[in-house]
Structure 1
Amino acid sequence: MFQGNNGSNTANTGDKSAFVTAVLKNDGQTTYALKGGDSQSGGLTTWWNGALPTRPGYRPMHQEGGIILGTGGDNSNWNRGTFFEGVMVAGLPSGTTENAVQANIVSVGYSGETNVPNGPQGRITGPGGKCADVAGDDTAVNGAAVRLWDCQNYAEDQYWTQQSAGSLSTIGRCLDITGNETTNGTLVELWDCNGGANQVWKQQSNGSLLNPRSGRCLDSPNASTANGTRLEIWDCNGTSAQTFTLH
């Protein structure tokens, strides 16, 4: 995509595949071309082939070529980052050369998920198929409410890792029983992982998550499935209100 003093090319709709090949060639004097395609199959489509922008510095070109191999984003929990693999060729490549590069890329067989956080993480799904979610737009602060919410691929705070000691962690903190209490109705929250017994959760055969210290299970009050429902602990009863599956 080029956005400059000549405006944008609205006819270029880009490529919506999970893995994308993008090709730029430029003779540095009068013309440049953009091509793209699915890195998993097929060939390249020409998105633009025409005059260089009239903006100073683009005709003739005085910049040297370069390839960006990765971007890190803004360092937030929403940041996904992007990884690029690059190819540079000498001179102005022919269509035959570009097609050969695309065929080589397709032959690699890129695959896998590109829209979920990386690592050994899984969701905790509960009543109504909703996800255990941390309030506050992926910000990891002590005391943040843990609640039910619609499952979202890009919500980093809906992806949990089960640690060897039995704790469940997301965005750097653990699922915790507030105040180290053991009574029915005590809310759960996010807190610094500390190895405490109030942060241990054991998956049961009936789908519930048991905290051994309190002898109680993770629970959605009144089996609510509404977004924003605060989760609590309650006497284990095997009902749908306590069906929380880590997967």
Structure 2
Amino acid sequence: MDLGASHAVNRVVVKHAGAGGENTAWNTRDFTVASSADGTTWTTRATVTGNTASTTTHDVTAPGTRYVRLAITAPTSTSDPAARIYELEVYASTGGGSGSITGVGGKCLDVDNAGTADGTKVQLWTCNGTAAQTWSRIGDTYRALGKCLDVDNGGTADGTKVQLWTCNGTGSQVWQPQADGSIRNPQSGKVLQATGAGTADGTQIQIGTYAGGAHQKWVVNGG
């Protein structure tokens, strides 16, 4: 299942044969639930064996999830080989969460030297779990260290730098995650990207016209 964008998934509900009015002996017996940020690398979030329930609820902690996979290893408790899934429901936090934002080269969106002054550089840096790399999704903004991810001077040109700035409710601080993995600033029509498609620690973050490059794709973890 493609969720269309990255989400902090916290619950998966599976409705089996009995939920659709069929024989409960046909409820899915053995299965796993897995999540992925990219559809390639998967993490198992729940493993179920010997199930007889018509509806199963799985509370998980799966930040940065775009894809959810249900893999069935034993479809029923009988010899019937058919799997019967009536619904697969995925739930996620709707805001207020926080976590890292991971980009090209597996590097994290980082506030330079954990600075809090207006205009502090936002860059790529090796992920280290510090507050300088912990971003909260509040409304349409991303916030770290009490300030907002901001396009310098409300610029719209390719290459305009992205920085930390006091939250002010302007369009330069509005960011919308897209189904293609990019994070778009609607005011400029541009997306968040690493300068020059760089992956080195300290690479400046800027805005640019979307072209599908890896340096323009992000995984938002927990926010």
TM-score range, shorter chain: 0.5 to 0.7
Q: 1:139 aligns with which of 115, 118, 122?
A: 115
Question: Out of 116, 128, 133, which is 1:152 matched to?
Answer: 128
Structure having the higher strand fraction is 2
Cα offset, 1:243, TM superposition: 0.6
Shift of 1:212: 0.5
Quote the offset at 1:145 in angstroms: 0.0
Match of 2:103 in 1: 126
Q: Which 4+ residue blocks in structure 1 deviate beyond 4 angstroms?
A: none
Q: In the aligned structure 1, how far is the partner of 2:220 from the partner of 2:144?
A: 13
Aligned Cα root-mean-square deviation (Å): 1.4
Q: Is the contact made by 1:203 and 1:245 (CA closer than 8 Å) also made in structure 2?
A: no
Deviation, 1:120, is 2.6
Find the residue that maps to 2:167 and give its secondary structure: coil
* Structure 2: tracts of 5 or more residues without a match: 1-60, 62-95
TM-score (norm. length: structure 1): 0.50
Equivalent position amino acid for 1:130 in 2:
K
Structure 1, unaligned runs of 5 or more: 1-111, 113-118
Residues of 2 paired with 1:134 and 1:122: CA distance?
A: 14
Identity %: 39
Displacement after TM superposition at 1:238 (Å) = 1.5
Aligned length: 127
Show the counterpart of 2:163: 189
2:149 aligns to what SS in structure 1?
A: strand
| SS of corresponding position for 2:156 | coil
Secondary structure of the residue that 1:145 maps to in structure 2? strand
Q: Which amino acid aligns with 1:246?
A: V
Structure 1 residue 245, shift from structure 2 partner: 1.7
Q: Distance in 2 between matches of 1:229 and 1:222?
A: 9
TM-score under structure 2 normalisation?
0.55
Structure of greater relative contact order (alpha carbons < 8 Å, 6+ residues apart): 2
Which structure has the bigger radius of gyration? Answer: 1
- Aligned residue for 1:207? 181
Superposed CA deviations along residues 111-160 of structure 1, whole A, max 9, x for unmatched, are: x9xxxxxx831111010010000012x2311100000000002x101000
